[in-house]
Chains A and B, each alone.
Chain A
Amino acid sequence: MSNLADSLELSPVVSHLHPEGSFDLADHPVPTGLEEVWRFTPLKRLRGLHEDTPLDGDGLKIEADVAAGVTAVSVPVGDSARGLSGYVPVDRVSARAWDASRSVFEVTIPRDTIVDEPTTIRLHGTGLDHAAAGHLLVRAGQFSKAVVVVDYEGSATWAENIEIVLEDGAQLTFVTVQDWNDDSVHVVHQHARVGRDAELLHVAVSLGGDVVRASTGADYRGTGGSVELLGVYFADEGQHIEHRLFVDHTAPRTKSNVEYKGALQGQGAHTVWIGNVLIRKEAEGILTYESNDNLVLTDGAKADSVPNLEIETGEIEGAGHASTTGRFDDEHLFYLQSRGIAEEEARRLVVHGFFNDIIRRIGVPALQERLVASIEEELAAHVGRIQ
């Protein structure tokens, strides 16, 4: 028996995909922009979130529309279950937000509770003058099933940590909608811990903001856990939208699927997608795939896309990744035009088709309709409105 224990290689893996976290701010020097994890981010536009700007603002209004059976309360940090997901801040912005948060907004779905109605949390930013920090903790109890939507709007300079905990057998759909005004700066770190046989559907929708940098990570507490990370983003002139994903396969026979799709239009529109997957030695029999597609609608836009896979065991079911960045496919347009559809209409159809592949899987009808309408609105600027 002891031989067996010795043969399990559970030692930490050293790689740049998962920097060692620390609660101590001194362990997180101010980034210079040359670091691998910061090299795509326009630090000058972060309004000092990565430096020492005080995070003492209170310019964010929180409203919660809570489904029956779910609780959503703000509790002082000392009384909260903060840290339940095992998250340790991995960079300076996150560590500063951890320090500066005075309360934790806790959303709890009790065990065995099944709710169809989504629970929606709206964060409305009322100004840019004071940067602020926040912490959200979502707990899905054993065998519960629920939908939680976080909706960002208004103007804010906002550093945030989000923890998501799925106990064994829980099913959770967690959606963030970045619908900020075009002057907001938002840096958020999310970490999900997925229990045995639990299923997380995580959807990131990023449309607004001046700079949005969202890092999302997930790991597993037991076998059979499944994580689906979906994303839809649309960057306009001058906007920087960055998604950094990290799935850490810490348990055998777990699954992950990452799929992000984005469109870019206008001078200086910039999107970044970093998709990291680590398959640890103990994670035998896992299945993972990650993909990112970017549709560049105009000149002057730039999409960076970097998938990384780090594989410590070959005893897996499957692992793969893909990334594409391109303009309209002329053949798609030609096909539609040959069927009598005007060019402008054909362009709109192609973009809607591109995004609907993700949107239809969210499973929240009202939100799906809203996203289709938002994309239509974005397209009006460069491709043309519905006649």
Chain B
Amino acid sequence: MSGVPAAALVDVPDGGVLAVEVDGVEIALVRDGDDVYAVRNECSHAAIPLSEGDVEGCEIECWLHGSRFDVRTGKAINLPATQPIATYPTTVEGDTVMVDLSFHRS
């Protein structure tokens, strides 16, 4: 996997979210214990940054209208969002989170 360094692992709060920009793409990094997930940092409903919302396990919630997304698959869990958000593969190398932008599911 060809990853790009996105953030230091310590900067991504466990059970929380960190907004980063990698190669011009705005990404929300979500950490659940040892796992870090990367999703596009924009709600598919009203274009709000998801990084301003709450994280619960592997779900991130948009603060404005309450749409929730599964950060593992990008799937919209509840309305008003219906479309998934893009997700990107991540790896942790040492203490750096790498994100692979070349491969995304949406």
Which residues on A are within 8 Å of B, measured CB to CB?
Answer: 33-34, 39, 42
Contact = CB atoms under 8 A, between A and B. Distances in A.
A235 B74 CA distance: 27
5 contacts: A33-B47, A33-B48, A34-B64, A39-B46, A42-B47
Instruction: Bin chain B's interface residue count.
Output: under 10
B57 to A, nearest CB: 27
A277 B13 CA distance: 49
A211 to B, nearest CB: 13
B73 to A, nearest CB: 19
Interface of B: 46-48, 64
A33 B46 CA distance: 10
Question: Which A-B residue pairs are the 4 nearest by beta carbons?
Answer: A42-B47, A39-B46, A33-B47, A34-B64
A34 B46 CA distance: 9
A34 B48 CA distance: 9
Nearest to A39: B46
Contacts of B48: 33
Contacts of A33: 47-48
A201 B48 CA distance: 38
A300 to B, nearest CB: 9
A42 B42 CA distance: 12
B103 to A, nearest CB: 18
A39 B46 CA distance: 8
Nearest to B26: A44
Nearest to A270: B47
Among B46, B47, B64: residue with most chain A CB under 10 A: B47
Contacts of B64: 34
Contacts of A39: 46
Contacts of B46: 39
Nearest to A42: B47
A33 B64 CA distance: 12
Contacts of A42: 47
A339 B30 CA distance: 58
B79 to A, nearest CB: 16
A370 B100 CA distance: 46
Contacts of A34: 64
A182 B47 CA distance: 22
A33 B48 CA distance: 9
B105 to A, nearest CB: 15
A14 B68 CA distance: 36
A42 B64 CA distance: 16
